[in-house]
């Protein structure tokens, strides 16, 4: 482990492969009174010295609260997904395109913040710059100089600022986002750049069932919430798979990696009350996978029935697709007739 990785590892969660322990900001921030909520000076000094990035804990105006920083004793290396995510976002911030004449600032220059994923597994680094010019001209530069291998996801403007959000990859640990916010500052502009992603713990060994599954009890519920509707909803399906059918379903679900928890989000009340469940029975106990809420719930929860507190999560859409396919049902079962 080099000095860079060792210092970053000191910021990480406890055990790679297990769900994170969420800490409050008050547990991480120095107890002395400060005008802004930044990390404790000693921790900031380490990060700045190694990666030249000032990491701040702030509350977003347009999104959820920024995730807190954590500490860990986990060794750095390929088995540490959070360290890999930290390396990605620091590289993204270091290579983010900047307009001519931009100068790095040592502290926050823009009040507010960029939207976040809301996931407790989000990691983020933030930097600030000043540059000559006006908001419109700098915004045009940013729009025409996206970060390498990234595309514009969204852009907009407030009363005094403009923002551009660039992304690459898909939802979960592969998605990377670089966000720019540009506002007037003195005779020029201030630029804030956030690089962030979410990381997923390594899927634990106990959650795999292929080699020992005997039967799989499956239930699919699609109840319409729209009174009198004949287009939504479908009969409840309950079936027990055995032999090769149970093993094929187990293999399909064993192939799904763990994903990051989705965190707090909102969506309209779905017209369908959806519930999908499979209980894999094995000689030593059961592994249950459930997804409630349909399209408004991104994740499916894997639970060890012998130790119910032991859980991990997989992608809900992929789980539904595998379950419906195993039963010979269409992917839109209950959502249209």
DSSP string for residues in 138-202 = HHHHHHHSPPTT-EEEEEEE-SSEEEEEEEES-SSTT-EEEEEEEEEETTEEEEEEEEEEE--PP
The parent domain of residue 251 ranges over 205-326
- Considering the domain boundaries, does residue 332 fall inside one? no
Contact between residue 193 and residue 177 where contact means Cβ atoms under 8 Å apart? no
- Do 55 and 176 lie in one domain? The reply is yes
- Do 29 and 170 lie in one domain? The reply is yes
Q: What is the DSSP letter of 242?
A: E
Of the residues 198, 213, 235, the one at which a domain ends = 198
Of the residues 177, 198, 219, the one at which a domain ends = 198
b vs e for 139-154, b when ≥16 Cβ sit within 10 Å of the residue's Cβ?
bebbeeebbeebeeee
- Do 221 and 167 lie in one domain? The reply is no
Q: What is the DSSP letter of 206?
A: G
Say how many domains are in the chain: 2
- What are the pLDDT digits (tens) for 4-56? 444 444 544 443 343 333 333 333 222 222 222 223 333 333 333 333 333 33
Among 74-88, 138-152, 254-268, the minimum mean pLDDT is found in 74-88
- What are the pLDDT digits (tens) for 229-254? 666 788 999 999 999 999 999 999 99
- Do 106 and 10 lie in one domain? The reply is yes
The per-residue pLDDT of the chain, averaged, comes to: 77
């Amino acid at each position: 482990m080099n000095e860079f990785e060792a210092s970053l590892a000191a910021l990480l969660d406890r055990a790679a492969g297990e769900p994170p322990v969420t800490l409050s900001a008050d547990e991480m921030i120095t107890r002395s009174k400060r005008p802004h909520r930044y990390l404790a000076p000693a921790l900031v000094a380490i990060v700045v010295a190694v990666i030249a990035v000032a990491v701040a804990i702030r509350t977003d105006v347009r999104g959820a609260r920024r995730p807190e920083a954590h500490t860990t004793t986990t060794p750095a290396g390929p088995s540490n997904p959070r360290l890999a995510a930290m390396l990605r976002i620091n590289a993204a911030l270091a290579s983010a395109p900047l307009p001519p004449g931009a100068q790095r600032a040592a502290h926050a220059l823009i009040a507010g913040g960029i939207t976040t994923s809301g996931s407790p597994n989000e990691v983020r680094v933030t930097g600030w710059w000043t540059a000559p010019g006006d908001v419109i001209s700098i915004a045009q530069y940013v729009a025409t100089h996206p970060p390498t291998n990234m595309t514009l996801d969204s852009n907009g403007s407030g009363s005094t600022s403009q923002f551009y959000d660039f992304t690459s990859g898909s939802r979960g640990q592969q998605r990377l986002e670089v966000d720019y916010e540009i506002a007037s500052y003195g005779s020029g502009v201030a630029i804030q750049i956030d690089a962030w992603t979410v990381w997923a713990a390594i899927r634990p060994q106990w959650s795999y069932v292929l080699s020992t599954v005997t039967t799989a009890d499956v239930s699919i519920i699609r109840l319409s919430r729209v009174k009198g509707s004949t287009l939504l909803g479908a009969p409840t399906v309950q079936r027990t798979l055995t032999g090769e059918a149970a093993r094929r379903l187990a293999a399909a679900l064993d192939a799904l990696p763990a994903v990051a928890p989705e965190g707090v989000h909102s969506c309209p009340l779905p017209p369908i009350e959806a519930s999908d469940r499979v209980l894999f029975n094995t000689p030593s106990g059961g592994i249950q996978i459930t997804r409630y809420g349909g399209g408004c719930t991104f994740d499916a929860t894997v639970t060890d029935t012998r130790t119910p507190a032991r859980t991990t999560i997989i992608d809900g859409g992929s789980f539904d697709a595998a379950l419906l396919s195993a039963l010979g049902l269409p992917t839109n079962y209950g959502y249209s007739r």
